[in-house]
Structure 1
Amino acid sequence: MNPPAHEFVPFRPLPLPDAELRYAHGPGSHPHQGVPTGEIFAFDIEDSRIYPGTTRRIWVHNSADHDARTAAPVMIFNDGWWYLDPNGEVRAGIVLDNLIAQERLPGVVSVFVDPGVFPDRPDAKNRNAEYDADDARYADFLQQEVLPRVAARRMLTDDPGQIGICGGSSGGNAAFTAAWRRPDFVRRVIAFNSSFAQMPGGNPYPARIANEERRPLRVFLHAAHRDLHWNEPEENWFAESLETAAALLRRGYDLRLVVGDGGHSPNHGGVLLPDALSWLWR
């Protein structure tokens, strides 16, 4: 009997510890001839009850092979257009088209949600108030105000095990908090470069994960070695991500942790997205 074949990765020297280091996007992040392109439509929410006074745009990526008669799994992306932009660092629409064509991902309906803004205020952005909050409001907003408007046009699942959420920086906080607070709604999480350290009162998750009831979550965490305050004793964004990951591992969560070089940037998370989604939906 022949031994199983293994894929070997060529040796590469470790990069210099440079916060400006960049990773190159792989083939999964580039468009390819013959890959069907998903349909994208958009709408605005200007009458939120949970975040009154805010407006925002939502984009919906519908996979090319979606069967309108079947309730589709759902993938939510925070920082909507920033993640969908085909010329940006993440390029999620391109990634989704490639993965679905390769059958590495089911035919998800993906919902890209911009953070709210107050159009009549000088301090218009509501992003940190929504994403860093230590409560269930953002998950409630997604479930009660966003997905019903998508479901009016596309049949969606209500199985929490078939709903995922992705975000980076404070959007990573929002993704993890939504699943932690509302595992009855969403259970698959991708969090890139989370800013757990800047949540009100600091990162609550190592203690909560250790002491609270275990949630049925699957979590992909990414951390950058040169994230903010990486070598300082307080508000160390890199250390807080590692401590959250360690707490999840000690409790036996379904976790994938990837640590990269570079600083607080969407670059590495964007490069990782094809593999992160494949792992999350395996």
Structure 2
Amino acid sequence: MPALVPYRPLPLDLSDVRYAHGPDSQPRAGVPEGETVELEWSGSTVYPGTSRRVWVHVPAHDGTAPPAAVMVFNDGWWYLDPDGEVRGAVVLDNLVHRGDIPFTIGVFVEPGVVVGSEHPKNRNVEYDAFDDRYATLLLDEVLPLVTARYRVTEDPERWGICGGSSGGNAALTAAWLRPDRFRRVVCFLSSFAQMPGGNPYPDLLARTEARPLRVFLQAGHRDLNWGAPTRNWLAENLRVAAALAEAGYDLRLVLGDGGHSPNHGGVLLPDALRWALHPTA
């Protein structure tokens, strides 16, 4: 039986578009609210001198919870804020309660702040670089804070990472370099165009043996520099999607309208997680 998608007319203006959130992005009657714990990590050896906040969200569960799947969300509070565009904890509560995804702990990680620096924000240093430092931070420093408190599965097919803009770069890079841990990837409006040295993925995907990743990409028709011959956010996302498709990856690409805004990705998060975390998608 084919899935029936309701008809919606396409907007004529591709720039001034806002998508409406669906029911899984709202608190729903009868769905118990999970527990969110805020932590702080200031002892990093990967990014010395940085401090960052981490929120761990654990959906409600009757009885003894099974070992949890893990979904890391870059840009912490932007993705957790229940009044924001993404509403990660609300989405997890709804999807876990209905059984659409396995029991999943959300780990919302803020970019580091360099204490005492004139330029304290370490976000682009951490997210845009094509190296293993950010994945190492997560695996060796942040996630042990979670596994010390909660039972978490060791199955990498149930470990994922999600991010938008530069956070999308960080999500794909962490999974690319550490597929032994992260295999489910969700990227919204990734800033591949601004990675130092250029976007490495089209070439890498064409000449490297495929890794066991499932990748959800969202791109926008009016993302930054959409009509420019260089540093074109839309074009670079499409190049990555094409390279993933040509290399035979388990890929889902969703194109939307609007500019460089978290709105469309946030609206898509329930569907992205259902697809990414489903064992037989």
TM range (shorter): over 0.9
Residue 124 of structure 2 corresponds to residue 136 of structure 1 = no
AA aligned opposite 2:235: A
**In the alignment, structure 1 residue 86 sits paired with structure 2 residue 87:** no
Superposed CA RMSD in Å reads 1.3
Deviation of residue 229 (structure 1)?
A: 0.7
Rounded to whole Å, the distance in 1 between the matches of 2:250 and 2:193 is: 23
- Show the counterpart of 1:238: 234
Aligned with 1:275: secondary structure? helix
TM-aligned CA distance change 1:280 to 1:237, over 3 Å: same
Change (3 A) 1:21 1:179: same
Three-state SS of the structure 2 residue aligned to 1:270 is helix
- Distance in 2 (CA, whole Å) between partners of 1:68 and 1:219 is 31
Partner AA of 2:72 in structure 1: I
Q: What secondary structure is seen at the aligned counterpart in 2 of 1:111? A: strand
Letter in 2 for 1:271: V
- 2:40 and 2:51 in contact (8 A); partners too: yes
Letter in 2 for 1:77: F
Q: For residues 245 and 65 of structure 1, what CA distance do their matches in structure 2 show?
A: 36
Pairs within 5 Å for 1:216-255: 216-255=212-251
> Would the aligned equivalents of 1:68 and 1:154 in 2 still touch at CA under 8 Å?
no
Equivalent positions of 1:8-87 (< 5 A) are: 8-10=5-7, 12-65=8-61, 70-87=66-83
Q: Is the partner of 1:167 in helix, strand or coil?
A: strand
**2:107 alignment partner, one of 101, 104, 111:** 111
Farther off after superposition, 158-167 or 263-272: 158-167
Count of aligned residue pairs for this structure pair: 278
- Match status 1:192 vs 2:185: no
State which of 4, 7, 16 in structure 1 corresponds to 2:4: 7
1:218-251 C-alpha deviation (Å, 9 max, x unpaired)? 0000000000110111011100000100000011
After superposition, give the CA deviation of every residue in 1:143-201 in whole Å (9 maximum; x if it has no partner): 00011111111011222211000000000000000000111121100000000010011
Structure 1 position 13, deviation (Å)? 2.5
Change (3 A) 1:133 1:56: same
What SS does the corresponding residue of 1:142 show, helix, strand or coil?
helix
Per-residue CA deviation, residues 3-48 of structure 1 (Å, 9 max, x unaligned), is x4752412x3221234231111111111111101111101100110
- Residues 202 and 239, structure 2, Cα contact 8 Å, conserved in 1: yes
User: Equivalent residue for 1:281?
Assistant: 277
Letter in 2 for 1:275: D
Give the drift of 1:67: 6.2
Partner of 2:198: 202
Q: Deviations over 1:188-217 (max 9, x none)?
A: 000000000100111110000000121000
Q: How high is the sequence identity, in percent, across the aligned residues?
A: 60
Q: CA separation in 2, counterparts of 1:161 and 1:207?
A: 25
TM-score by length of structure 2 reads 0.96
Match of 1:178? 174
Query: CA offset at residue 59 of structure 1?
Result: 0.2
Answer with 66-75 or 205-214: which moved more: 66-75
Letter in 1 for 2:257: D
| Aligned partner letter, 1:273 | L
The residue that corresponds to 1:156 in the other structure is: 152
* Whole-Å separation in 2 of the counterparts to 1:67 and 1:189: 30
Would the aligned equivalents of 1:66 and 1:72 in 2 still touch at CA under 8 Å? no
Counterpart of 1:55 in 2: which secondary structure? Answer: strand
Distance between the aligned counterparts of 1:97 and 1:69, measured in 2? Answer: 14
Conserved in 1, the CA contact under 8 Å of 2:14 and 2:221? no
Unaligned regions of 5+ residues in structure 1, if any? none
Q: CA deviation at 1:119?
A: 2.4
Checking the alignment, whether the CA contact within 8 Å between 2:157 and 2:184 is kept in structure 1 is yes
